[in-house]
Chains A and B, each alone.
Chain A
Amino acid sequence: MIKRTSFMLVLLLLAAMPLTAVQGQDEPLRVAVVMPSTADDLAWSQALVDSLAAVQEALGGEDALVVDISENLWQVPDAIEAIGDYAAQGYDIVFAHGTQYGGPLFDLAPDYPDVSFAWGTASDTGEDQGLTNIFPYEARAEQGGYINGVIAALLTQTGVVGIVGPVPAGDALLYIDGFRVGVMEANSDMGLEVEVPVIYTGSFGDTAGAAEAARTLIAAGADILTGSAQQVPGVIEAIEEAGGLYMATQVDQAEGWPDTVLIAQVFDWNDVILDMIAQRQAGVTGGIAYELSLENGGMKMVLNEELAATLPVPEMLAALAGGLDIDPEAEGAMVEILQALLEAGTAEVVEGRIDVLERVEELQAEEAEEATPTPAS
Chain B
Amino acid sequence: MTGEERDLLVILASILAQGLRFATPYLYASLGEMFGQLSGMLNLGVDGIMLMGAFTGFIVAYQTPEGADVTAYLWLGVLAAALVGALLGLATAVVNVTLGAEQGISGIGFYMFGFGLSSLLIKVTVGRPTPVAFFPDIRFPVLSDLPLVGDALFSHNIMTYGAYLLVPVSWWVINRTTLGLKIRAVGQNPEAADSLGVSVARIRYLTATLGGTLAGVAGASLSIALYHVIQENITNGIGFIAVALVYFGAWTPAGVLIGSALFGVVSAVSRWVQALGLGIDPNVAVMLPYIVTIVVLVFSVQRARQPAALTKPFQRGEG
Contacts and interface: CB of A to CB of B under 8 A. Distances in A.
A371 interface: yes
Nearest to B277: A197
B122 to A, nearest CB: 8
A256 interface: yes
Query: Most A CB atoms within 10 A — which of B129, B130, B279, B285?
Result: B129
Interface stretch (A124-132, A230-238, A355-363): A230-238
Contact of B131 (A206, A220, A257): A257
A199 B271 CA distance: 6
B127 interface: yes
B240 to A, nearest CB: 13
Contact of B14 (A72, A219, A241): A219
B231 A230 contact: yes
Interface of A: 38, 40-42, 46, 72, 162, 165, 167-168, 197-203, 205-209, 211-213, 215-217, 219-220, 230, 233-234, 237-238, 240-241, 256-257, 370-371
B128 interface: yes
Given A208-B236, A233-B129, A237-B228, A202 B283 contact: yes
A207 B10 contact: no
Given A202-B286, A217-B275, A371-B279, A38 B232 contact: yes
Contact of B286 (A72, A200, A208): A200
A207 B58 CA distance: 15
Contact of B272 (A38, A168, A216, A256): A216
Interface string B223-253: 0001111011111101000000000000000
A198 B283 CA distance: 13
A256 B131 contact: yes
A371 B129 contact: no
A228 B281 CA distance: 19
B165 interface: no
B234 A208 contact: yes
Contacts of B279: 370-371
Contacts of A213: 271
Contacts of A167: 282-283
Contacts of A212: 18, 22, 267-268, 271
A205 B233 contact: yes
B119 interface: yes
Contacts of A233: 129, 131, 229, 231
B128 A256 contact: yes
Contacts of B128: 40, 42, 46, 256
15 contacts: A41-B129, A72-B119, A197-B275, A202-B283, A207-B229, A207-B234, A208-B222, A211-B226, A212-B268, A212-B271, A216-B14, A219-B18, A233-B229, A234-B227, A238-B227
A72 B233 contact: yes
A165 B283 CA distance: 12
Give the top 8 A-B pairs by smallest Cβ distance, nearest first.
Answer: A202-B286, A200-B282, A233-B129, A219-B14, A216-B271, A40-B128, A199-B274, A197-B275
B131 A208 contact: no
Nearest to B264: A212
Interface in B1-57: 10-11, 14, 18, 22, 25
A38 B14 contact: no
Contacts of B234: 207-208
